[in-house]
Amino acid sequence: MKPPVLGKKHLRDYSATESSSGEFSREIMAKDTAENPLHTGRYLLILRDGVKDVMKTTRLLETKWGFLVANTADFITETMCESRIKDADALFYNELGIALVAADDDKMKLLHAEHADYIVEPEKVVYIPDDVTVDTAVESSWGIKAVRAHESVYTGEGVKLAVLDTGFDVRHPDFKGRNLTTFSFVPDETAEDLHGHGTHCIGIACGSSDQQGVRYGVAPGVQIYAGKVLNNGGRGAQAWILDGMTWAANNGCRVLSMSLGSKVLPGQSYDIAYERAARFALSKGTLIVAAAGNDSRRSENRFSPVSSPADCPSILAVGAVDSALQVADFSNRALNESGLVDLAAPGVDVYSSWPMPARYRTLSGTSMATPHVAGITALLCEKFPDATPAMIGQELIRTAGSLTSPAMKQIVITVSAYYLDRLDVVAENLREEGVTITRLYEFGVIIGYAEEATIDKIRHHKEIASLTDEKEAAVSPPEEDVQ
């Protein structure tokens, strides 16, 4: 299997009209840098009818295109990973009806042209969100107190909790004697965490207390499943995430935490491959929580949509709050129709485990909020051992407190004809006034969200021919809940 390109820009040359990602211009895609690419250079072939046509499509790839095709069903006694299919051109996820294809661009264009039974998507590069190191000396358990884990009689005993991340420091003294399973889906790298992010997130969800007795972990009794899906540099291929999701589900993990993602553009829909994997996990009894992302700067009126895969309907997206239970400045917002923020949790100045010899570190990010929710989910799974993922999810939402956000309304702006050749300037001015733009059309229509005070302020700007306040469509980012 051709390895993914994780540090070189790759843009496909064909139309995206049959893509779950929506149709975006090459100009937008080209804003990405070679150091932080959007795509790996490989592709996901997604069958329209799910697993129904796996064998038929396998024969097509083998006979017509000459591909050597592997299948996850071939791995009965061992876990599938790319290092075991180095000679393959494609890998079919038998449970998902999805194939990972590593072929040259010319072949992929021809495959894309014959897309009656499948959709072709570029494989995403996945990153750790831009978490912020605060102070390695800070020892604070405010997050544990905020979610009231210290008051619970439950510890997650008997519950399997999986974290997909950069691996785990299995020699960390705080986890001595714990029930721990690790696996690396990153070719040529062990599950050892040489980055630190995975150990920090696992500590929040599954850890206990530090040397001074400061508790930092929500569910200290769970069985830990640490799947390494991001390399030592903190990035990975989308297929590795799919590998980890199916691994966690097939191993009976009732909770799966993913503090990782790829940026999503305004108006972009959720990723079909991730949604397929999430539904498969739900069918196996696994509830998934994922980080909403850290791309916003709320203090500057800059809001970004919930990241992928957290924007999938079958995954709970987690935002971050600070110790005053205010939404964190960096926490992404529910801007796209398919990308809601389901819950928020402690994600600012969060103290947890770190690979030795540092032992501990304090970070901020939705990455830290997500394992708080995962840990609480494990406690609920222990309390309600026969509950389905849907029932656990409902209980999470029911028991969460409400965070009220400023009322936002959807607005449709028609730009005056005189300013049509300066749309980018008009849009930037609107953003500075506090408008969150979700769509900008070349013919002079801008769609977005704004608070009532902002709407009143911009309504009579000379650049605006008309402004429609879509009250009936409204409202805005929905209330974000805190667990």
pLDDT score of 17: 30
Q: 203: Cβ–Cβ under 8 A, 6 or more apart, which residues?
A: 174, 216, 217, 352, 353, 354, 371
Q: What is the pLDDT of residue 131?
A: 60
Q: Which residue has the tokens 């046509």?
A: 53
pLDDT at position 12, please? 32
| Nearest CA-CA partner of 141 in 318, 319, 349, 355 | 349
Instruction: Out of 105-109, 124-128, 133-137, 223-227, pick the least confident.
Output: 133-137
Predicted confidence band of residue 373 (pLDDT cuts 50, 70, 90): very high
Quick: pLDDT tens for 249-260: 999 999 999 999
What pLDDT band is residue 117 in, cutting at 50, 70 and 90? Answer: confident
The reported pLDDT for the residue numbered 452 is 85
User: Could you tell me what percent of the chain has a pLDDT over 90?
Assistant: 63
Query: Mean pLDDT throughout 151-178?
Result: 97
pLDDT category of residue 328 using cuts at 50, 70 and 90: very high
Q: Which long-range CB contacts under 8 A does 148-155 form with residues at least 24 apart?
A: 149/215, 149/218, 149/219, 149/375, 149/376, 149/379, 150/215, 152/379, 154/219, 154/221, 154/379, 154/380, 154/382, 154/383, 155/219, 155/220, 155/221, 155/222, 155/379, 155/382
pLDDT above 70 covers a percentage of the chain that reads: 89
Of the ranges 3-7, 367-371, 429-433, the best mean pLDDT one: 367-371
Domain-wise residue ranges, the chain = 26-124, 132-403, 408-482
DSSP 308: B
Mean pLDDT of 82-97: 93
Strand order in the sheet with 160-165: 180-184, 223-228, 160-165, 255-258, 287-291, 316-321, 343-346, 480-482, 401-403
pLDDT band at 97 (very low <50, low <70, confident <90, very high): very high
Segment among 45-59, 67-81, 127-141, 230-244 with least mean pLDDT? 127-141
Question: pLDDT value at position 481?
Answer: 44
State the Cα–Cα distance between residues 244 and 237, nearest whole angstrom: 11
This prediction has a pTM of 0.82
pLDDT per position as a tens digit, 224-234 = 999 999 999 99
Identify the bridge partners of residue 226 per DSSP, sorted by sequence position: 163, 182
Which residues is 121 bridged to in the sheet? 44
The backbone region for 264, taken as left when phi is positive above 0, alpha when psi lies in -120 to 50, beta otherwise, is beta
Tens-place pLDDT, residues 16-69: 333 333 333 333 344 445 678 889 999 999 999 888 889 999 998 999 889 999
Over residues 446-454, the mean pLDDT reads 85
Q: What is the mean pLDDT of residues 376-385?
A: 98
- 352-361 pLDDT, tens per residue? 999 999 999 9
Cα gap 201→459, rounded to integer Å: 45
Distance CA 126, CA 316 (A): 18
Going along 230-386, which residue ranges are E strands? Answer: 235-237, 255-258, 287-291, 316-321, 343-346, 350-353, 360-364
Residue 115 confidence (pLDDT): 63
The pLDDT of residue 302 is 85
Q: State how far the Cα of 457 lies from the Cα of 451, in Å rounded to an integer.
A: 10
* Nearest partner of 248 among 373, 163, 124, judged by Cα: 163
- Better pLDDT: 24 or 262: 262
| pLDDT computed for residue 22 by the predictor | 37
8 A C-beta contact, residue 46 and residue 273 = yes
Number of residues assigned to the chain: 483
Residue type at 372 in one-letter notation: H
Q: Mean pLDDT score of the chain, rounded to an integer?
A: 87
DSSP characters for 4-40? Answer: P-SSS-----S--TT-TT----HHHHTTS-SSS-SEE
Q: What is the domain class of 132-403 according to CATH?
A: alpha beta
The model's confidence at residue 406, banded by pLDDT at 50, 70 and 90, is low
How crowded is residue 474: how many other Cβ atoms within 10 Å of its Cβ?
A: 13
Tell me how many helices (H) and strands (E) the chain has. 11, 22
Neighbours of 226 (CB within 10 A): 27
Please identify every residue annotated as catalytic: 165, 197, 367
Residues 408-482: name the CATH superfamily: Peptidase S8 propeptide/proteinase inhibitor I9 (3.30.70.80)
The span from the CA of 144 to the CA of 284, in Å, is: 29
Q: CA 144, CA 379: separation in Å to the nearest integer? A: 13
Q: What is the mean pLDDT of residues 325-351?
A: 91
Angle between helices 197-206 and 366-383 (to 10 degrees): 30
More confident residue, 447 or 368: 368
Instruction: Choose between 115 and 196: higher pLDDT.
Output: 196
Q: Is 50 exceeded by the pLDDT of residue 474?
A: no
What is residue 332's predicted lDDT score, i.e. its pLDDT? 93
Closest CA to 481 of 336, 368, 350, 317: 317
Residues 6+ apart with CB under 8 A from 299: 329
Tell me the two tokens of residue 208.
């206990």
Q: Which band of pLDDT confidence, cut at 50, 70 and 90, is reported for residue 113? A: confident
- Give yes or no for residue 475 having a pLDDT over 60: no
Buried b vs exposed e over 290-314: b needs ≥16 C-beta within 10 Å?
Answer: bbbbbbbebeebbbbbbbbbbbbeb
Tell me, what's the pLDDT at 21?
A: 37
Q: How confident is the model at residue 407 (pLDDT cuts 50, 70, 90)?
A: low
Res 27: pLDDT: 38
